[in-house]
Chain A
Amino acid sequence: MLKTHKALKRRSSHCMIKGTRMLIDTSHRFLKRISDIYRVKKGAGDVLPLTVGIPRMFYYYIYPGLWETFFRELGMKPVVSGMSTAKTVEKASEISETEHCLPNKLFDAHLAELAGRVDMIFVPRVLATIKDHLSCPKFGPLPDAARADIARVTEVLSIDIDETSQPLSSSLMLLGKKLNMPKARTVSAVKTAISAMQEARRKMDRPVRKKGRPYFLLAGHHYTIHDNFIAGPVLNKLQSMDVDVELISFSENTPEKSYILWSTSNAIYHKLNTISADEYDGVIQLSVFNCGCDSMMMDTYRQLVREKNIPYMFLMIDEHSAQAGIDTRVEAFIDSLGWRK
């Protein structure tokens, strides 16, 4: 494999980099860096697609299905890292910054899984996912930190997503421009990708509710309630106890403005503000160790739910969480609800 690559490089080193499927203008800063890889792949005559790594964390869950569809439509090959497992956590605790929150550590482990395996890794700078709101400040330096540390061996493709200044579709158009795609192709890719995202969100949100069974709300960030390591044990336990659970949905329209500017926190605040005791038998707040947003909002949530007379449990997951510990807590919570009646 390596030999052929070298041979290809030699053969194509003098030829102009002008592909039929992808035009590469080397004047661009990012493309200049990536063009070497591209030259190797293109040399054989037919174009091998560039591979783009997408870590299965943060923005993968915030925009489900969007990135894979978008890159596939542009003729690239998206590679998503595997599900988070105990092994991922083990790796994370080895390589990541010790004081990061758990999802950020997992993100680093996912990055490490992709680094070196793909042509470039996609790490956007998610500054705001809802208009006039803010994301967690940790998302700001995410691509820079990836470039500085773990994904150093691979190119990092990045784009600013700031809904306050421009909608998602224009950000995606810019990303297409960055990759030097023809405009018409990017437009169609954006359209397909956004509809795929909406479809995926609908699938994610669909609550299953059977009559006569207790019904719970699981509140948390996108990337905690859908992650395999963080929410997996809780969901497993709830399922085995014949309890139906609704994962909090973020796909609804913009939540009402309040004093909270973090978009996810405001969405949860809004949801907890509107629910009633008839709808849900209880609320489980899933949080992760060292999460800054949750540490500030925890008490506010608790107060809100207490006023409505809905049982509330705050569950914090850290690196050392195991199925047994979570089983005990969830069981105790659900049993105590039985005595309430």
Chain B
Amino acid sequence: MTYMAIPNIGNYTIALATAVESLGIKAWASTATTPEALKLGINAAPESVCLPLKAHLGHFIEADRAGVEYAFMVNSVGTCRLRYYRHMIGDIMKDLGLKIKIFGLGFDGFKPPIVRYFDPGPVTFVKPLIHTALKIKVIDELEVAAWRTRPVEVNQGDTTRVMNRLLVELSESRTMAATRAIRKKAARCFAEIPIDTEKRPLRVGLVGEISFLRDKCLNKNIEYILGSQGVEVRNFFLLGEELNNISRIVLLNQNRRKYLSKIADSYLQCTVGGHALDSVAHSIRCADEGYDGMVHLCPSGCMPEVSVRPILKRVSKDKDIPILEMSYDEHTCGVGIATRLEAFADVLRERRKKKRSLVHRVDMVIKPNNADIEKKLNKVCP
């Protein structure tokens, strides 16, 4: 069987592995970059490039060592460094003497080169793609359910256990019917987790660079750390949503960027590149929706994300929402991240308490001065 290495984008790799089957081959992937792969990438890449490149490079080197012949790398059309990833990874692999063949999604004709190369039949090609779409949908739902239940679960670790079991089942499902069954089962499984209904968890939005929002190894499992601290996270990268947006732009000419720029207009009037505009717009939206805080993730020296940091600081001041800036490099340690997040969660909790007591005190002051209330009080007890 021929294998193809695909980049890691968190749990969505499970769905993309199904997509690769449309070419009549099998996928070689993992849901998170392994530390060994990252080490390989760091050794091979120039020192000042951003961390996602090193992660991808390491992943492909590992794949080549495992005997994989083909690899697939997304090519972006944006302004940032992601655009040159495929070219650079190809160059470095050539220098290292590795023979893996890297495909992109070039648009030089009706069929992309990758489809032209493998040339699958129409049935084998389309069916797995529909299955992929379904799987992406299911994973979206699983993620959302996990964010909601993790902070309120009674026995810590229940959600993660359920989630992992479902993901394994999902990765093994070969037919649409099986995936649909898992989708039904997932709702039941999450409902069965005992939760503390009294608890009002803090709400925190995660924004920033996508590979850091998704890859558990790169972001040091930030969703889990925050969740176990009693924080309900909302990760602003859901692949299903993202793909929906892209198809809407292509088919219906509805540009979501325009919608985001409208929100961010008073702070940022340009679509920078990467997900920088999204970061700013979502931060503003979250502040308006009453979130307790935001966490902004990016690799150290990320061009678009770092350049909007002063703007995020201003948003944080104007809208009174704390934004934690996290930047990751190859020396970032999970324990350090956990400490910072714990401190952040503590600060948010105290803030909430303070705000509540303030509201309470204001009420106490205002009520006696309110003439209507005094009249009512007099009526009740003259």
Contact = CB atoms under 8 A, between A and B. Distances in A.
Contact of B306 (A97, A125, A261): A97
A316 B338 CA distance: 34
Nearest to A104: B307
Interface in B236-274: 267-274
Interface residues of A, number: 33
Contacts of A138: 303-304, 306-307
A140 B267 contact: no
B330 interface: no
Interface in B308-350: 308-311, 313-314, 327
Contacts of A298: 46, 48
Contact of B301 (A99, A134, A140, A148): A99
A295 interface: yes
Given A296-B81, A299-B91, A144 B267 contact: yes
B130 interface: no
Interface residues of B, number: 36
Nearest to B306: A99
A199 interface: no
Given A99-B300, A140-B307, A149 B79 contact: no
Interface in B271-287: 271-274, 276
A72 interface: no
A144 B271 CA distance: 12
B80 interface: yes
B118 interface: no
Highest count of chain B CB atoms <10 Å: which of A101, A260, A295, A299 = A295
Interface in B8-57: 46, 48-50
Given A137-B272, A295-B46, A295-B48, A145 B308 contact: yes
Contact of B313 (A142, A148, A292): A148
B88 interface: yes
A212 B116 CA distance: 57
A198 interface: no
Nearest to B77: A261
Contacts of A145: 307-308, 310-311
A144 B301 contact: no
A261 B310 contact: no
Interface of A: 97, 99-101, 104, 125, 127, 134, 136-138, 140-145, 148-150, 259-261, 290-292, 294-296, 298-300, 303
23 contacts: A97-B306, A97-B310, A99-B300, A99-B309, A100-B306, A137-B79, A137-B273, A137-B304, A140-B270, A141-B270, A141-B307, A142-B307, A148-B314, A149-B310, A149-B311, A149-B313, A260-B84, A261-B79, A290-B48, A292-B80, A292-B303, A294-B48, A299-B88
Interface of B: 46, 48-50, 78-81, 83-84, 87-88, 91-92, 267-274, 276, 300-301, 303-304, 306-311, 313-314, 327
Given A100-B307, A104-B307, A148-B310, 9 more contacts: A97-B309, A125-B269, A125-B270, A140-B307, A141-B268, A141-B276, A142-B307, A145-B311, A261-B83
